[in-house]
Homo-oligomer: A and B are copies of this chain.
C-alpha cells in the first residue's frame, strides 16, 4: 500500500480543481441511509438553508389544487437541522421493499440528493433513487447471479426514414451458447424511449434474477424506441442535449406499428433467435401497451405472447389510421390463431382502469381468452416492474 499512499498524497496535495470536485464535492454525508429496521434516513448538508424537505413516492400523497382540479401530489416531510448544519429526516415507519424515488426541496427548490449518485431520469425529471430490499424488490437489485449483456446499437428503419437506437438484453450464457433464444419485445410509454425499461424498469436485473432462480426461461429482451419521429433517447441523437418532452408527434397514429416488422427482422438477422411465433412475445406499458395490442393484431402470426401493462386503450373513433380500423375483425383473426397468452394487467387506481375494463368486456363478448392481473395503485413504474416480473415467467412454455 506504500506506493498507493504516496500517489494519494501527491494527488491530494496537488490536485486539480476537477479531481477535487470528484473527491470532495459530495461531502461526507451518508444519504439515504437504509437502517436495519428498513426505516430510511435522509441527510443534507445545507447550513445556510432556511427550510429543507424531502418529497418522494415513499410518502403518502397529499391532495393539491391544480387547474385540472384536486389531484394527488407527492407527500413531503420536513428535515430538521442539527447544530452542524446537517438536515435530517428518518421515516417514522419502516418502508416496504421497493425501488423508491425522491427529491429534496431546498428552500422550495426541487433537486436531487447531492450525497446519492444513483438517480433515474423519467422524461424531463431526474430523481434520486434507493432500493429497500426484500420480497419482490430483490428482483430489482443486482445480485450475485450470472448477468446478461446490455447493448445499445442502431438499426435502419427505411419506413420511418431514420437510423434508430435500440437497447438489447441477451441472457447469461447467450454468447457461449449455440442455441436459439426466444425474444420479448418490451415497449415503453409516452415520454419514454429505449432507455426507459432498462433504467426505470430494472429489466436487466429482473431478468437476471428470474432466470437465475429458474423462474423465467433465458430470453432476449428488445427495447426499441417507440416514438416514430425519434432517432434515439434525449441526449443520444444529433439533436444534442435538449430538454425532453412528454408528448411527441406520431406516437399513436399507426406508423410505428406498421414499421415494427423491421425491428423483428433486424433482431432475427442479428441474433440467434427462435424465428417463429412461438418464440416471440410483445408487451408494453401505457402507450407501449397500445402499441403491443395493435402490433400483435396487425401481425397475427408474429407473437404468441402479448402483454398489455396499463395499456392506453383508446376509443375506436379516436384511431383514424388504417392500422386501427376493423378492430374486432382483426382481433378475431388474431384469436383464431390461438395466441398462447394474452395478458392484461392494470392497477385499480389507474386512470386507464375503466378503458381496460371495457376492453376486457369486448374480449369477453367475443370469447377471446385472456388472463387478467390486477394490482393496487395506478399508472406508475412500481406496477410496471411488477407486471414484467409476473409476465416473464409465463413466457415460452416455462
Using a CB–CB cutoff of 8 Å, the interface residues on chain A facing chain B are 1-4, 6-8, 10-23, 25-26, 30, 44-51, 57, 61, 68-69, 71-74, 101, 103-104, 106-112, 114-119, 121-127, 129-131, 133, 141-144, 146-147, 149-154, 163, 165, 172, 175, 190-191, 232, 234-238, 240-241, 243-244, 246-247, 249, 251-253, 270, 287, 312, 314-315, 318-320, 349-352, 377-382
Given A71-B15, A142-B240, A243-B117, are A49 and B314 neighbors across the interface (CB < 8 Å)?
Answer: no
A175 to chain B, nearest CB (A): 6
Q: Which residues of B contact A382 (CB under 8 A)?
A: 18
User: Main SS of chain A's interface residues?
Assistant: loop
Partner of A117 from B47, B172, B234, B351 at Cβ < 8 Å: B234
A74 and B21 form a contact (CB under 8 A): yes
A19 to chain B, nearest CB (A): 6
User: What residue in chain B is nearest A108 (Cβ atoms)?
Assistant: B48
User: What residue in chain B is nearest A247 (Cβ atoms)?
Assistant: B8
Docked CA distance A243–B30 (Å): 8
B241 and A25 form a contact (CB under 8 A): no
Known contacts A3-B253, A6-B315, A142-B232; 15 further A-B pairs (Cβ under 8 A):
A3-B320, A13-B68, A15-B351, A16-B350, A16-B379, A18-B57, A23-B246, A30-B243, A44-B109, A50-B107, A130-B241, A142-B238, A144-B238, A149-B152, A150-B153
B236 and A6 form a contact (CB under 8 A): no
Docked CA distance A101–B8 (Å): 24
User: What residue in chain B is nearest A24 (Cβ atoms)?
Assistant: B125
A162 to chain B, nearest CB (A): 11
User: What residue in chain B is nearest A192 (Cβ atoms)?
Assistant: B22
Docked CA distance A349–B121 (Å): 36
Partner of A238 from B109, B141, B379 at Cβ < 8 Å: B141
Q: Which residues of B contact A30 (CB under 8 A)?
A: 243
Partner of A124 from B3, B22, B107, B315 at Cβ < 8 Å: B22
A314 and B16 form a contact (CB under 8 A): no
User: What residue in chain B is nearest A27 (Cβ atoms)?
Assistant: B110
Q: Which residues of B contact A381 (CB under 8 A)?
A: 18
A46 and B124 form a contact (CB under 8 A): no
The 9 closest A-B pairs by CB, nearest first: A14-B351, A3-B318, A25-B125, A46-B109, A149-B153, A111-B111, A22-B122, A16-B378, A48-B108
B240 and A20 form a contact (CB under 8 A): no
Given A124-B25, A314-B3, are A380 and B107 neighbors across the interface (CB < 8 Å)?
Answer: no
A106 and B117 form a contact (CB under 8 A): no
Q: Which residues of B contact A270 (CB under 8 A)?
A: 175
Q: Which residues of B contact A10 (CB under 8 A)?
A: 351-352
Given A10-B351, A74-B21, A318-B6, are A131 and B240 neighbors across the interface (CB < 8 Å)?
Answer: yes
Q: Which residues of B contact A125 (CB under 8 A)?
A: 21-22, 25-26, 117
B16 and A49 form a contact (CB under 8 A): no
A112 and B126 form a contact (CB under 8 A): yes
A103 and B149 form a contact (CB under 8 A): no
A236 to chain B, nearest CB (A): 6
A54 to chain B, nearest CB (A): 13
Q: Which residues of B contact A236 (CB under 8 A)?
A: 142
A237 to chain B, nearest CB (A): 6
Docked CA distance A172–B153 (Å): 9
Q: Which residues of B contact A287 (CB under 8 A)?
A: 7
A172 to chain B, nearest CB (A): 8
A286 to chain B, nearest CB (A): 9
Given A21-B74, A127-B21, A131-B241, are A3 and B319 neighbors across the interface (CB < 8 Å)?
Answer: yes
A381 to chain B, nearest CB (A): 7
